[in-house]
A and B are shown apart, each in its own frame.
Chain A
């Protein structure tokens, strides 16, 4: 599928940047004319992906979060959240609902919510090298009278 526009940016994995990340994603997605519900879905999925990096990827330091967003033909949005942190030893296990190594502040529902709010979710991880989460969402085309 052909890309029609993109942005790339990176920021330190500090929790204060979570709201910036989802606001930036929503602002970029706006060109596809999403509904409020679709925008909410995008913001939620981005918040989960970025929080995962902040909580899990860099346990001993403040590393960087890289984000790339692309609009694709067919009114598709692709969001890629990447880190160069510790990686996930067992991706399948990490994606199980209620599984978390993040303590009582985490619910273990991050990947479940990413999966149910987006139309596609792919997680690639390598221990010691980092993790890339790629999500896709089809934005319904509105018919204007």
Chain B
């Protein structure tokens, strides 16, 4: 999985691309934590438009990003989730705590 990022006006956008599973999650979280430290954004958008597969490791990753953002007084949300990742998000129920928008698919 690749995590690309862009920053503008206090908003960091993380672009997830590829497949996110347990194997990928630990390294991705390290990279994301470092990026959050570098920019200290007010808002963090997790853009899942390029994510073709995610299991519950992705849920843990999203929750961790939200926690890191909360610790610095910021907020995070998910955008452009495709069908399969969205179904995992729905099953986990985290969309009751975190704003999630869907992709056009």
Contact = CB atoms under 8 A, between A and B. Distances in A.
A contacts with B: majority SS: helix
Contact of B83 (A40, A48, A105, A112): A40
Interface residues of B, number: 22
Select the residue from B29, B56, B64, B93 with max chain A CB neighbours within 10 A: B56
Contact of A107 (B21, B26, B57): B57
Contacts of A110: 55-56
A113 B26 contact: no
B2 interface: no
Nearest to A44: B55
B19 interface: yes
B22 interface: yes
The 9 A-B pairs at the shortest CB distance, nearest first, are namely A15-B23, A40-B84, A107-B59, A107-B60, A47-B55, A109-B56, A51-B22, A107-B56, A116-B91
B92 interface: yes
B contacts with A: majority SS: helix
Contacts of B87: 37, 40-41, 44, 117
Contacts of B19: 19
Interface in B4-30: 19, 21-23, 25-26, 29
Select the residue from A18, A22, A37, A41 with max chain B CB neighbours within 10 A: A18
Contact of A48 (B25, B56, B60, B93): B56
Interface in A85-132: 97, 104-110, 112-113, 116-117
A55 interface: yes
A97 B59 CA distance: 12
A143 interface: no
Given A40-B84, A44-B84, A107-B92, A54 B56 contact: no
